[in-house]
Amino acid sequence: MTVLDLTLRMGAPRATPYQRLAVVGGGAWGSALAAVAARAGRDVVVWARRAELAAEIDAEKRNRRYFGDDVALPAAVRATADLAEATAGAEAALLVVPSVAVREAARALAAVLPAGAPVVLCAKGIERDTGLLMSDVVIAESPGRAVGVLSGPTFADEVVRDLPTAVTIASNCAAEDGEASVAARMALSLGTERFRPYLSDDMTGAEVGGTVKNVIAIACGMAEGAGFGSNARAALITRGLDEIKTLADALGGRRETVTGLSGVGDLMLTASSTQSRNFSYGVQMGQGVPVEKLFGGRKVVVEGVENALSVTDLARRRGVRMPICEAVRTVVHEGVPFERAFEKLWTAPIESEPRALDLELAHPAGERVA
């Protein structure tokens, strides 16, 4: 195992933080990461698409839509609705927009971000039409630019309040010279007494973990809403983790990565709390709430809804079985009642957990729910 010494050795810095950061996205997670960067002593500017939100963050240090009136951002956080202004002089950018908006944002960012400044992805998803991970989308829009990924078990509301949090930051450490890699430098840029980064050289594994867990969280929420109990949720989390590992492996990632913060850590958080929009969405679906009345009729971005399509599309192309994700897809996008989808999932042929056993049996109840 390679150990990166990011401390001072013989008086010379082994790696240096990025001092000037642009945060592209003024939502909850973008604002929270801007707060982290400011607490770490960085010069940070947030780009928000809506001018009124940018003005509120810049002048009042508030993002009331997501955090109400009682959460103040650090005084050092600045904001603008002008992307060129937000990125002027930036040494790195954190891209924090919904996954469906990443390509458009990456294209706009490529035109204004200084040459040599890397982009660190903080969005979790797979582009449906192309099957590309978000990092690949950025690379396609900005060839030659270094890219990293930030992922892990993070509720923005807790991060913005400076509660203890750990994340994974991944980049191609070997190709970049690990001690000066994007991951290492961004870890130093954001690390504080309450925000602890870990390093990885497996962007694929980190991205797959952060994406698929959204779909598994919806499944867990549905089971909770339907009153299926804790046993079902534990089983869905465990078998869902296996689906994440299998897809990561098929895409060239490492199963080991999925057992870390960006996989099992993120899954445990997202699949067990109504603070998670994915889990909450699933709970309401499991309770039979009509789609138009979810979240009280408010428009809420639930990444797992889009991910249910993009993940299963990609898995089908790669020949990867993901039965839990497929079940979520049938409920969310095909109108199959959750109880029916769950019965088919639970009575599917009995498989072995050790892959080496390679044994499958017809489920005794399978014919009754076919």
In order of start, what are the domains of the chain with their CATH numbers? 8-201 (3.40.50.720), 205-369 (1.10.1040.10)
pLDDT of residue 14: 67
117 backbone dihedrals φ, ψ, rounded to 5°: -80, 125
79, 132, 181, 191 from 177: Cα distances, Å? 33, 26, 6, 20
Question: Which band of pLDDT confidence, cut at 50, 70 and 90, is reported for residue 10?
Answer: very low
Look up 213 and say whether it is catalytic. Answer: yes
Q: Which of 202, 204, 212, 210 is nearest to 313 (CA)?
A: 212
What long-range pairs does 323-327 form, CB within 8 A, spacing at least 24?
323/243, 323/348, 324/215, 324/216, 324/219, 324/236, 324/239, 324/240, 324/243, 325/212, 325/215, 325/216, 325/219, 325/240, 325/243, 327/219
Rounded to an integer, the average pLDDT of 317-337 is 97
- Does an H or E element contain 148, and which? strand 147-151
Question: What DSSP designation does 159 have?
Answer: H
Q: How far apart are CA 88 and CA 131, in angstroms?
A: 32
Catalytic residue among 124, 213, 299, 344: 213
Q: How far apart are CA 74 and CA 349, in angstroms?
A: 54
Q: Is 111 a residue whose pLDDT tops 50?
A: yes
Rounded to an integer, the average pLDDT of 94-99 is 96
Q: Is 267 a residue whose pLDDT tops 50?
A: yes
Q: Which of 333, 290, 285 is nearest to 308 (CA)?
A: 333
Q: Is 348 a residue whose pLDDT tops 80?
A: yes
Q: Out of 110-114, 155-159, 361-365, which region has the weakest mean confidence (pLDDT)?
A: 361-365
Cβ 342 vs Cβ 223: under 8 Å: yes
Give me the residue label for tokens 């940070």: 44
180: its two tokens: 């000066």
The DSSP result for 329-366, as a single string, is HHHHHH---HHHHHHHHHTSPEE-SSGGG--EE--TTG
Question: Which band of pLDDT confidence, cut at 50, 70 and 90, is reported for residue 135?
Answer: very high
pLDDT of residue 357: 85
- Does an H or E element contain 12, and which? strand 12-13
Question: Which band of pLDDT confidence, cut at 50, 70 and 90, is reported for residue 176?
Answer: low
Q: Is 173 a residue whose pLDDT tops 80?
A: no
What's the whole-model pTM score?
0.92
